[in-house]
Amino acid sequence: MIGAPAYLAPLFVEVGLTFALLFWMGVCRVDAVTTGVVHPRDVALRQPNWPAGITQIANAYHSQLELPVLFYLVVVLSLFTAQSTTTLLVLAWAFVATRAFHALIHVTTNHMRRRFFAFLAGSLIAMTMWILFGLDLFFGP
């Protein structure tokens, strides 16, 4: 079994990415309102009236609240059940790399094909982590 600090490191990086996007989005939104680019009544009910760049950051942030939930859960459960392995650790870092790449695409070019393949890679990695965790848990190493 991998030690908790090493195994939780990719989880902390993913959480850090999520908070970075959250605060970046917040700063950009506050700036847009205080400079008059956006009026609060135009976005108060979540209307899509933010400038494109801010929407890209917001979309990248919201995306970090979707698929990564499955990642967080498999990491925590594998530690809780003493099923953390080197393979899962490597996959965890690969997952975090795909999420960082996905976020980078979101906030820069927003190239949908590249973004899709980054998302697909992360999805397949998360699914593989769950399959390996389940096999180890129910059928042993």
**104-124 pLDDT per residue, tens:** 999 999 999 999 999 999 999
Total-model pTM:
0.93
Three-state SS annotation for the chain:
CCCHHHHHHHHHHHHHHHHHHHHHHHHHHHHHHHCCCCCHHHCCCCCCCCCHHHHHHHHHHHHCCCCHHHHHHHHHHHHHCCCCCHHHHHHHHHHHHHHHHHHHHHHCCCCHHHHHHHHHHHHHHHHHHHHHHHHHHHHCC
Is residue 1 scored above 70 in pLDDT?
no
pLDDT at 3: 77
Architecture of 4-139 per CATH? Up-down Bundle (1.20)
Which tokens sit at 23?
Answer: 């605060």
Question: Domain extents for the chain?
Answer: 4-139
Mean pLDDT of the chain: 95
pLDDT one-digit tens code per residue, 9-34: 999 999 999 999 999 999 999 999 99
Per-residue CA distances from 38 to 33, 52, 60, 61, 118 (Å) = 5, 12, 20, 20, 31
User: How far from the centroid of its chain's Cα atoms is residue 136's Cα?
Assistant: 25
CA gap 37, 108 in Å, rounded? 21
Dig out the tokens for 48 from the structure. Answer: 């899509």
